[in-house]
């Protein structure tokens, strides 16, 4: 089917009768097709959520869709006089001419620039361009997308990464990414420094295994495989040998990421050189080993003197004094037991102490502790509010130690009050003990630290 355009003129005789017509017929199919194509283009463009621009070779704007007019603040009449230099803050005529010519031959890769609105405000955009021929006339077609939010997100991400890098550097933490298929590693300078490697040197998983002491290599690989199989966090502590021959302790951790087939493809993690901490631990262990002998000797001597003194007082008939010495001897037994536990390096390192379970009367233990501690204070009265609890099966010495800590803290932190009450209750076959004082208490901000080590 073709479109035809015809024009002609009618000629008349002397009597004003039409006698002939002269004219021309033109096939305008291509023109009509171009008009239809332009209509379809405008329909599509006006319903798009992105900005569509049709530019002439002169850089004037042949067409702007509704989204462009709304975002930039122009009406259709104003848009007829716009050129690219009015819109593109970074407009350069030569660059535009080169791009226009190139777009007629090939696709232009996406690029970023800055556009400005009618009110003068500027914002970043991403441009996708292509050459377009309409009605046998070349144009430059562009799709424009506002990337303000993505730019802002990238800037925030950059700031976050910078803060993270500062935090990692401050903590001497090195980060890495390990590609499991290739063994290639991407490491921060600090991560490489933890292994004695210069920042400009290559350092991959094979290099890492090479610097790990042979004793730990299988262990490290087993820990990595276990974490991958269980979808858990990988954590390992091992020794490495630096190029200068020095041996260092490394603490490493990481977590794998998986593809759509649940296959591990990447491990991301951190490393830290803990050599100094290990050295301090060793020094502490050595100190404890020495202290164990130094502390046990005077305690043993005091115990011996106490036992001799008790026998002497008993022979003299000083039963009350002898009983007090007997109690001191019992406390020395507790002190000896505590020293043995606290100075056991293996127990301290593992964070576990041996519990010796026996059956005993809980209220009787309370009474004994209260009696002993009452002798240590003249300002306070230790009062017992105890319900029947019966026998319990527990470590008597450990329970006694906890009670002593609670009561002595109550004495310490209630200097201007007199009474301290020790309560016991039987609740659902469990014994509950509480120590009530009327001192300064604990501020709300410290409530979460009740169970922290060395909480004051």
Using one digit for the tens of pLDDT, what is the confidence trace for 37-46? 666 666 566 6
What are the pLDDT digits (tens) for 163-185?
766 666 666 788 899 999 999 99
Question: Is 177 within the bounds of a domain?
Answer: yes
User: Domain check: are 106 and 120 in the same one?
Assistant: yes
**Rg, the chain, Cα only:** 44
Crossing angle (nearest 10°) for helices 319-342 and 275-316: 160
User: Domain check: are 341 and 399 in the same one?
Assistant: no
User: Domain check: are 345 and 361 in the same one?
Assistant: no
CB 99 within 8 A of CB 74: no
pLDDT value at residue 349: 56
Q: Which helix (H) or strand (E) holds 176?
A: strand 173-179
User: Domain check: are 66 and 111 in the same one?
Assistant: yes
Crossing angle (nearest 10°) for helices 362-374 and 396-412: 40
Distances (CA, A) of 41 to 63, 175, 241, 243: 10, 51, 68, 67
What's the CA gap between 332 and 294, in Å, rounded? 16
CB 262 within 8 A of CB 252: no
Residue 135 neighbours by CB under 8 Å, 6+ apart: 30, 31, 34, 35, 38
Question: Is 28 within the bounds of a domain?
Answer: no
pLDDT value at residue 318: 83
Average pLDDT, the chain: 83
User: Domain check: are 380 and 438 in the same one?
Assistant: yes
What are the pLDDT digits (tens) for 381-407?
999 999 998 899 888 888 888 888 888
Question: Is 41 within the bounds of a domain?
Answer: no
What are the pLDDT digits (tens) for 40-83?
666 566 666 788 888 999 999 988 888 889 889 999 888 888 99
Q: Is the dihedral of CA 150, 152, 155, 160 positive or negative?
A: negative
User: Domain check: are 399 and 332 in the same one?
Assistant: no
Last residue of a domain, one of 130, 146, 162: 146
What are the pLDDT digits (tens) for 299-319?
767 777 777 888 888 888 888
The DSSP annotation for 296-348 comes to HHHHHHHHHHHHHHHHHHHHHT-HHHHHHHHHHHHHHHHHHHHHHHHT-HHHH
User: Domain check: are 192 and 254 in the same one?
Assistant: yes
User: Domain check: are 342 and 364 in the same one?
Assistant: no
User: Domain check: are 418 and 342 in the same one?
Assistant: no
Is residue 249 very low, low, confident or very high in pLDDT (cuts 50, 70, 90)? very high
pLDDT value at residue 278: 84
What's the CA gap between 364 and 24, in Å, rounded? 127
Q: What share of the chain is helix, strand, coil (3-state, %, to 5)?
A: 45, 30, 25
Nearest residue to 369 (alpha-carbon basis) of 335, 403, 344, 343: 403
What's the CA gap between 333 and 324, in Å, rounded? 14
Is residue 456 very low, low, confident or very high in pLDDT (cuts 50, 70, 90)? very low
Let me know the angle formed at the C-alpha of 327 by 325 and 332, rounded to the nearest 5 degrees.
90
Question: Is 159 within the bounds of a domain?
Answer: no
Asked if the model's pLDDT at residue 438 lies above 70, the reply is yes
Residue 172 neighbours by CB under 8 Å, 6+ apart: 190, 194, 272, 273
The CATH number for 234's domain is 3.30.450.20
Asked if the model's pLDDT at residue 320 lies above 70, the reply is yes
305 or 98: which carries more pLDDT confidence? Answer: 98
Last residue of a domain, one of 237, 257, 273: 273
Sheet holding 185-187, edge to edge: 185-187, 173-179, 264-273, 247-258, 234-241
* Tally of domains within the chain: 4
Question: Is 94 within the bounds of a domain?
Answer: yes
User: Domain check: are 364 and 334 in the same one?
Assistant: no
Query: Which backbone phi and psi does 397 adopt, to 5 degrees?
Result: -65, -40
pLDDT value at residue 435: 93
Q: What's the mean pLDDT in 429-449?
A: 81
Asked if the model's pLDDT at residue 347 lies above 60, the reply is no
Question: Is 185 within the bounds of a domain?
Answer: yes
What's the CA gap between 149 and 134, in Å, rounded? 34
Structural domain of residue 203, as residue ranges? 170-273
Question: In the 8-state DSSP scheme, what is residue 448?
Answer: G
Question: Is 4 within the bounds of a domain?
Answer: no
Asked if the model's pLDDT at residue 208 lies above 70, the reply is yes
The CATH number for 386's domain is 3.30.565.10
pLDDT value at residue 162: 72
The share of the chain scoring above pLDDT 90, in percent, equals 39
What are the pLDDT digits (tens) for 129-164?
999 887 678 999 899 999 999 888 888 887 776 776
User: Domain check: are 83 and 136 in the same one?
Assistant: yes
pLDDT value at residue 95: 92
Let me know the angle formed at the C-alpha of 313 by 310 and 314, rounded to the nearest 5 degrees.
85
User: Domain check: are 68 and 108 in the same one?
Assistant: yes
What's the CA gap between 134 and 217, in Å, rounded? 69
What's the CA gap between 440 and 431, in Å, rounded? 27
343 or 361: which carries more pLDDT confidence? Answer: 361
Last residue of a domain, one of 221, 238, 273: 273
pLDDT value at residue 454: 44
- Where are the alpha helices (H) located in 171-274, listed in sequence order? 189-194, 205-211, 214-230
């Amino acid at each position: 089917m073709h479109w035809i355009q015809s024009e002609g003129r009618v000629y008349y005789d002397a009597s004003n009768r039409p006698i002939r017509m002269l004219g021309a017929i033109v096939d305008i199919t291509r023109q009509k097709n171009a008009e239809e194509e332009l209509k379809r283009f405008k329909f599509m463009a006006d319903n798009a959520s992105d900005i569509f621009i049709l530019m002439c070779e002169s850089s004037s704007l042949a067409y702007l869709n509704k989204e462009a007019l709304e975002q930039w603040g122009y009406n259709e009449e104003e848009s007829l006089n716009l050129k690219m230099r009015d819109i593109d803050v970074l407009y350069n005529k030569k660059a535009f001419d080169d791009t226009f010519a190139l777009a007629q031959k090939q696709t232009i890769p996406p690029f970023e620039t800055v556009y400005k609105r009618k009110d003068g405000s500027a914002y970043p955009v991403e441009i996708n361009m292509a050459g377009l021929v309409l009605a046998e006339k070349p144009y430059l077609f562009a799709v424009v997308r506002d990337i303000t939010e993505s730019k802002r997100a990238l800037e925030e991400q950059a700031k976050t990464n910078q803060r993270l890098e500062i935090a990692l550097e401050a903590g001497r933490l090195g980060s890495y990414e390990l590609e499991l298929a290739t063994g290639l590693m991407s490491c921060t300078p600090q991560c490489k420094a933890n292994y004695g490697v210069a920042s400009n040197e290559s350092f991959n998983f094979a290099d890492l295994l090479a610097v790990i002491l042979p004793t730990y290599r299988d262990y490290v690989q087993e820990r990595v495989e276990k974490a991958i199989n269980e979808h858990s966090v990988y954590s390992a502590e091992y020794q490495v040998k630096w190029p200068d021959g020095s041996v260092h302790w490394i603490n490493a951790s990481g977590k794998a990421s998986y593809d759509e087939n649940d296959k591990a493809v990447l491990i991301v993690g951190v490393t830290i050189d803990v050599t100094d901490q290990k050295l301090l631990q060793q020094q502490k262990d050595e100190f404890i080993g020495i202290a164990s002998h130094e502390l046990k000797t005077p305690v043993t001597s005091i115990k011996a003197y106490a036992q001799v003194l008790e026998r002497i007082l008993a022979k003299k008939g000083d039963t009350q004094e002898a009983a007090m010495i007997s109690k001191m001897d019992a406390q020395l037994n507790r002190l000896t037991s505590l020293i043995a536990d606290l100075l056991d390096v293996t127990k301290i390192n593992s964070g576990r102490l041996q519990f010796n379970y026996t059956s005993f009367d809980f209220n009787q233990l309370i009474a004994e502790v209260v009696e002993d501690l009452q002798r240590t204070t003249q300002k306070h009265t230790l009062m017992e509010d105890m319900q029947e609890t019966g026998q319990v099966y527990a470590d008597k010495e450990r329970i006694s130690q906890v009670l002593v800590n609670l009561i002595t803290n109550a004495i310490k932190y209630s200097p201007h009050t007199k009474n301290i009450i020790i309560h016991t209750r039987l609740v659902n076959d469990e014994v509950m003990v509480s120590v009530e004082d009327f001192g300064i208490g604990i501020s709300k901000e410290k409530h979460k630290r009740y169970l922290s080590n060395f909480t004051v």
